[in-house]
A = this chain, B = another copy of it.
Amino acid sequence: MSDLQAVLDLIDSEQENALDRLCNLLRVESISTDSAYADECITAADWLVEDLISIGFDAKRHDTPGHPMVVGKLNAGADKPHYLFYGHYDVQPVDPLELWNSPPFDPQIEDTANGKVIRARGASDDKGQLMTFVEACRAWKQISGSLPANITVFFEGEEESGSPSLIPFMKDNRELLKADIAMVCDTGMWDSNTPAISTMLRGMVGEELTITGPSLDLHSGMYGGPAMNPIRVLTRILADVHDDTGRITLDGFYEGVTEPSSQIKQQWASLEHDEDAFLTDVGLSTPAGEDGYTVLEQIWSRPTFDVNGIWGGYTGEGFKTVLPSQASAKVSFRLVGEQNANKIQQTFQQYVRDKLPPDCSVEFKSKDAAGATVMPVDAPEFARAHAALSDEWENEAVYAGCGGSIPVVGHIKDILDMDSLLVGFGLEDDAIHSPNEKYNVKSFHKGTRSWARILEALTRP
């Protein structure tokens, strides 16, 4: 007979201690995009290694040219299946800091209208989520003396900064990481009562571009007119990526974009997604994506282009009538279906070069390009996980799309030849990547219970 009930009971009685552990991890300022925080990333990795060892894992920090990886193994026996669990301990920058109601790295347990929440940078993305799995392992080990399956945990510290070390590390450590299936906890619930398994992920192409015009900053009175302003060039180039209907104008951009099957579309329609509430929650009312698609379709099945940052010229207090030498932007595409990420990256760079006027030049800093991923939902693990989630939440789980990009899922497929089971407990109002990020205590607690159930369900004879 399974120990599942005892494991779930232990998770309930250990809830306060589990929260304390998570808060300790949240205090580490492991911002990966800013090299000033590199030591904090090492601290977070070391914290995880120690915590895994305390459970019984054989765990190690693996240094890389960037931030370290953490790999831990706990063997259950050659007759058991083998799962790889992936998460990331790095977090987004916290700016604008002045919009936070409490310091981002001083986690608070707060009562809200929707129950208790853990308020901190990384609470939801992804420290709280990855700890749901760690806590489930801890409880199983304590009750049974072992885990239901052979488990390899794999945590990286560069997910929010383009994962420059991830592909080399995975290629160099195929044997260390190879398993039957991967589990990833970096996605969300359908709503606060309905768990979800994500079956599609959009891919991403990220670029930073800097356009240079004059060789130095000029006075717009002395040179305005004859001297080309690189901000003018940049705004024209970025504006023309979209046409008036919201479609992207790059040559061949929509190659590989497929319409979801009518079955999938029906399932999505049956979810009765509240478009108005989705938009109203963030101060909007009108879907801004391509004409002719629902909001869910725009997020789950349509590719996008966004400018994530733009800067140039004088941006301080007051005015300065400068005609700047340079202007820059960070941009990203979200990809779907079979769109070729590398090709789109090249097409965008060529598009920019073709639109440069005389005397202007461009430099690119590329982020990893990764295509979209579609999961094999008819594999037996998906049905078992679906049942386990439905049991825990007493509500039928949803097979959902996902507008975000988790490039590691593509790398797990390409490098390790494994599919990924994407289960997560984030909510739309978690404010990930924004000030005042939070994770519901309920997500954390029932998330831990969900993984305990999934491990049992997948390994049941």
Seen from chain A, the residues whose Cβ lies within 8 Å of a Cβ on chain B are 32-35, 92-93, 95, 160-162, 202, 204, 206, 208, 213-229, 231-232, 234-236, 238-240, 242, 275, 278-279, 282-290, 295, 298-299, 302, 304, 306-325, 327-330, 332, 334, 357-359, 367, 402-405, 428, 431-435
Contact = CB atoms under 8 A, between A and B. Distances in A.
A311 B311 contact: yes
Contacts of A327: 310
Given A161-B319, A307-B232, A330-B313, A299 B208 contact: no
Given A216-B283, A216-B434, A308 B319 contact: yes
B404 A221 contact: yes
By CB atoms of chain B within 10 A, which of A217, A235, A238, A279 has the most? A235
Contacts of A330: 313-315, 319-320
B433 A282 contact: no
A406 to B, nearest CB: 9
A324 B93 CA distance: 14
Contacts of A226: 275, 278-279, 284, 287-289, 295, 298-299
Contact of A217 (B312, B322, B434): B434
A334 B224 contact: yes
B404 A219 contact: yes
B306 A232 contact: yes
B332 A433 contact: no
A334 B221 contact: yes
Contacts of A242: 232, 236
Given A225-B289, A298-B226, A320 B309 contact: yes
Contact of A315 (B215, B220, B311, B405): B311
